[in-house]
Chain A
Amino acid sequence: MSEIGPRSLLDELARCMRCGFCQAVCPIYREEGTEFSVARGKLILIEALADGRLAPTPEVEKAIGLCLVCKSCKASCPSGVRTDLIMAMAREMLNQSRGRGLAKTAILKVAGDRRAAAGLAGLGGLFWRVAFAGPPTAGGLWRLRLPTGHYYPRPSGRSLTSGLRRRERRGVIGTADRRTNSLSFTPTGAQGEVLLWLGCLVNYMLPSLGLAAIDVLLAAKIRVVVGIDEGCCGMPRYVNGEISGTAQTARRNLDWLARVRGQGSQVASGSPLLFVCPSCAEAWKTYPELLQGREKEAAKTAAAAVVDVSTFLCRGAGDWRRLLREPPSSSPLTVTYHDPCHLAQAQGVRQDPRTLIAAIPGARFQEMSEPAGCCGSGGTFALFNAATARKIGQRKAKAIIATGAGLVATGCPACRLQLAQELVVAGHFVSVRHTVEVLAQALGWGDR
Chain B
Amino acid sequence: MDKGRQVVAELRRLCPWGQVFSGDLTLVYAEDATPGLGGEAPLAVVRPGTREEVAAVVGFCAEGGFGVIPRGAGTSLSGGVVARKDAVVLALNGLSRVIEVDEANLTATAEPGVVTAQLHKMVEERGLFYPPDPGSMAVSTLGGNVAEGAGGLRGLKYGVTRDYIMGLEMVTGEGRVARFGGKTVKNVSGYDFLRLMVGSEGTLGVITEITVRLLPLPEARRAVLAVFETIDSAAAAVAGIVADKVVPATLELLDNLTIRAVEAYSACGLPTEAGAVVLIEVDGAPESVAREGERVVRACRAVGASDVRVATESGERDKIWAARRTAVSALARVRPTIFLEDATVPRSRIPEMVRAVERIAKKHDLPIGTFGHAGDGNLHPTILTDRRDPEEMKRAEAAVADIFAAALGLGGTLTGEHGIGLAKRPFMMAQFGPVGIDLLRRVKTALDPRGVLNPGKVLPPASEGGSR
Interface residues of A (CB under 8 A from B): 14-21, 23-24, 33-36, 40-42, 44-45, 48, 53-55, 57, 59-60, 63, 77-80
* Given A14-B336, A24-B138, residue A33 in contact with residue B93 (CB < 8 A): yes
Known: A17-B35, A20-B32, A20-B75. 18 other contacts (CB 8 A): A14-B387, A16-B336, A19-B33, A19-B328, A20-B139, A21-B136, A21-B138, A21-B329, A23-B73, A34-B19, A36-B28, A44-B31, A45-B25, A57-B24, A59-B24, A63-B25, A78-B328, A78-B329
> How long is the Cα–Cα vector from A53 to B31 in the complex, in angstroms?
15
* Number of residue pairs A-B, CB distance < 8 angstroms: 102
CB distance from B27 to the nearest CB of A (A): 6
> How long is the Cα–Cα vector from A78 to B268 in the complex, in angstroms?
13
Question: Are A60 and B329 touching (Cβ within 8 A)?
Answer: no
* Given A21-B326, A33-B47, residue A54 in contact with residue B24 (CB < 8 A): yes
Report A-chain residues with C-beta under 8 Å of the C-beta of B139: 20-21, 23-24
Identify which of B21, B91, B117, B386 contacts A14 (C-beta below 8 A): B386
Question: Are A33 and B32 touching (Cβ within 8 A)?
Answer: no
> How long is the Cα–Cα vector from A445 to B117 in the complex, in angstroms?
46
Question: Are B24 and A80 touching (Cβ within 8 A)?
Answer: no
CB distance from B39 to the nearest CB of A (A): 10
CB distance from B142 to the nearest CB of A (A): 15
> Which one of B24, B29, B328, B336 has the greatest number of beta carbons of chain A within 10 Å?
B24
> How long is the Cα–Cα vector from A33 to B386 in the complex, in angstroms?
30
What is the chain B residue whose CB lies nearest that of A44? B28
* Given A23-B73, A78-B265, A78-B330, residue A18 in contact with residue B32 (CB < 8 A): yes
Which B35-93 residues have a C-beta within 8 angstroms of A? 35, 45, 47, 73-75, 91, 93
Report A-chain residues with C-beta under 8 Å of the C-beta of B33: 17-20
CB-CB nearest 3 A-B residue pairs: A78-B329, A41-B28, A78-B326
CB distance from B30 to the nearest CB of A (A): 8
Any A CB within 8 A of the CB of B216: no
CB distance from B54 to the nearest CB of A (A): 15
A-B contact pairs, 14 of them (CB 8 A): A17-B329, A17-B332, A19-B136, A20-B73, A21-B326, A24-B115, A34-B19, A34-B21, A36-B25, A48-B27, A57-B24, A78-B266, A78-B332, A79-B336
What is the chain A residue whose CB lies nearest that of B28? A41
Question: Are A19 and B329 touching (Cβ within 8 A)?
Answer: yes
Report B-chain residues with C-beta under 8 Å of the C-beta of A40: 28
Report A-chain residues with C-beta under 8 Å of the C-beta of B330: 78-79
Interface string of B382-416 (1 = CB under 8 A from A): 00001110000000000000000000000000000
CB distance from B19 to the nearest CB of A (A): 7
> Which one of A16, A40, A60 has the greatest number of beta carbons of chain B within 10 Å?
A40
> How long is the Cα–Cα vector from A60 to B332 in the complex, in angstroms?
27
> How long is the Cα–Cα vector from A77 to B336 in the complex, in angstroms?
13
What is the chain B residue whose CB lies nearest that of A15? B336
CB distance from A353 to the nearest CB of B (A): 21
Report A-chain residues with C-beta under 8 Å of the C-beta of B388: 14
Report A-chain residues with C-beta under 8 Å of the C-beta of B24: 45, 54-55, 57, 59-60
Report A-chain residues with C-beta under 8 Å of the C-beta of B136: 19-21
CB distance from B11 to the nearest CB of A (A): 15
Question: Are B31 and A17 touching (Cβ within 8 A)?
Answer: no
> How long is the Cα–Cα vector from A55 to B332 in the complex, in angstroms?
29
> Which one of A33, A54, A57 has the greatest number of beta carbons of chain B within 10 Å?
A33
> How long is the Cα–Cα vector from A15 to B45 in the complex, in angstroms?
26
Question: Are A59 and B74 touching (Cβ within 8 A)?
Answer: no
> How long is the Cα–Cα vector from A36 to B27 in the complex, in angstroms?
9
Report B-chain residues with C-beta under 8 Å of the C-beta of A15: 332-333, 336
What is the chain B residue whose CB lies nearest that of A79? B332
Which B119-166 residues have a C-beta within 8 angstroms of A? 136, 138-139
> How long is the Cα–Cα vector from A220 to B211 in the complex, in angstroms?
60
Any A CB within 8 A of the CB of B337: yes
> How long is the Cα–Cα vector from A17 to B335 in the complex, in angstroms?
10
Question: Are B29 and A35 touching (Cβ within 8 A)?
Answer: yes
Which B332-357 residues have a C-beta within 8 angstroms of A? 332-333, 336-338
* Given A14-B388, A20-B139, A78-B329, residue A35 in contact with residue B23 (CB < 8 A): no
Question: Are B27 and A54 touching (Cβ within 8 A)?
Answer: yes
Report A-chain residues with C-beta under 8 Å of the C-beta of B47: 33-34
CB distance from A228 to the nearest CB of B (A): 42
> How long is the Cα–Cα vector from A14 to B387 in the complex, in angstroms?
8
> How long is the Cα–Cα vector from A19 to B328 in the complex, in angstroms?
8
Report B-chain residues with C-beta under 8 Å of the C-beta of A23: 73, 139
> How long is the Cα–Cα vector from A42 to B27 in the complex, in angstroms?
10
Question: Are A35 and B28 touching (Cβ within 8 A)?
Answer: yes
Any A CB within 8 A of the CB of B456: no
> How long is the Cα–Cα vector from A42 to B24 in the complex, in angstroms?
12
Question: Are A59 and B329 touching (Cβ within 8 A)?
Answer: no
Interface string of B12-28 (1 = CB under 8 A from A): 00000001010111011
Question: Are A59 and B25 touching (Cβ within 8 A)?
Answer: yes
Any A CB within 8 A of the CB of B275: no
Report B-chain residues with C-beta under 8 Å of the C-beta of A59: 23-25
Report A-chain residues with C-beta under 8 Å of the C-beta of B19: 34
Question: Are B28 and A45 touching (Cβ within 8 A)?
Answer: yes
